[in-house]
Amino acid sequence: MTDKDCTMRKSLAQQGEVHRRNGEYTAAIQCFTDALAIDDEYAWAYAHRGAARAAIDDWERCCEDFDTALKLQPGYGWAVGQWAEAFRTHAIYNMSGQSWEELHSLVNRSIELFDTAISLSPGSAWTFAHRGAAYTFKYWLEIMPKLAPKLGISAAHAALSTTSSGKSAPERARESFDRACQINRRYPWAHAFKAILLGLVASERQGTAEDYDEACHALLAALLLDVNHRLVLDRPLATILHRAGDFARSVAIGTSGLQKDPEDIVSRYLVAVGLKRLGDPLAPAVIQQTRRLLEFARSEIQVMLLGLDLLDKPGSEGTAVETLSRERLSVEAIGLVAFDPTWSDAHVLTAQAGGSTTDLAKPIKD
């Protein structure tokens, strides 16, 4: 490479990393790809492009990038850790599309890679914290058949497994979070995820309100450390208190969260249920309002899902329009149909095919 090529490669890599850290993943991928066009043995760019692709769950290509990075630079701890995280998030992204066995396989592979990453970079608080999150998800998979029997999840996966060290998943998760917090005492994400773990443990043991105190304390520690307010913690805290039966505090925290994010429908639900449990005289009105907002959200989600079908599945215009004609839509959902070119194209195609483009929406009444 010439000096000019080296300078350009470095500039593209830096631009790509800025985009990746800002959540601009497609722009990041393009910058890393351009850098690799200059130097196709640039392990750093492969690893960081893999991380950007993992963030949008571009699964096969992210794995190819991590694999290439590690072939070019064996022992690249950052790449191994990010690949481990990719396995963890891929399992979560695909909860509805994978069998329980496949989810277990993905999270187990994530843990194996985190173990390798820790052996390569034993001083990384991030790696310990995210391994803790992987163990927490493993534990979640193990206990959900017991906690949610009405879902009909296979009981074959309900038994708690032990790890290679002979310890259970929650024990290994807690060790990982504690180690992360020892390395970096001001790590709010680690405290927050530890709180989720402790809440799960208390739920699995059918604990009392007091059993949830440790989880609440961990989450409050995360709130105090999160000085830049990057973590959304009101809802998890409200959920833990709700599960503990502490409805008064759950409602208070949920209401606080809604002041920050009025679109948080889960917090709205928790507040409505909490008020009903407390016998609050305003509960019926809040429940009615919450029901209406959930119906609005459902109609908007339905329109967007059908819109994605139109983009992804050529020839589905008639089915999408017919489905939409049976929906009761919110003002926002009708606006999506009216102003999204995806739907304009579908109307034209349906009309050309002899279908009706009228009566597409029945507005939801107050």
Domain residue limits, the chain? 298-363
- Contact predicate 290/277, CB 8 Å: no
* 21 Cβ neighbours under 8 A, 6+ residues apart: none
Q: CA 126, CA 227: separation in Å to the nearest integer?
A: 18
354 band by pLDDT with thresholds 50, 70 and 90: very low
The closest alpha carbon to 132, from 90, 180, 67, belongs to: 180
Full-model pTM:
0.83
Higher pLDDT, 351 or 246: 246
What integer pLDDT is reported at residue 165 of this predicted model? 62
**Portion of the chain with pLDDT greater than 70, in percent:** 90
Cα 85 from chain centre: 12
Calculate helix-pair angle for 317-325, 341-352, nearest 10 degrees.
100
Neighbours of 190 (CB within 10 A): 30
Backbone angles phi, psi at 94, to 5 degrees: -110, 30
Q: What pLDDT was estimated at residue 348?
A: 45
Phi-psi region of 206 (alpha: psi -120 to 50; beta: other; left: phi over 0): left
Averaged pLDDT, 233-240: 87
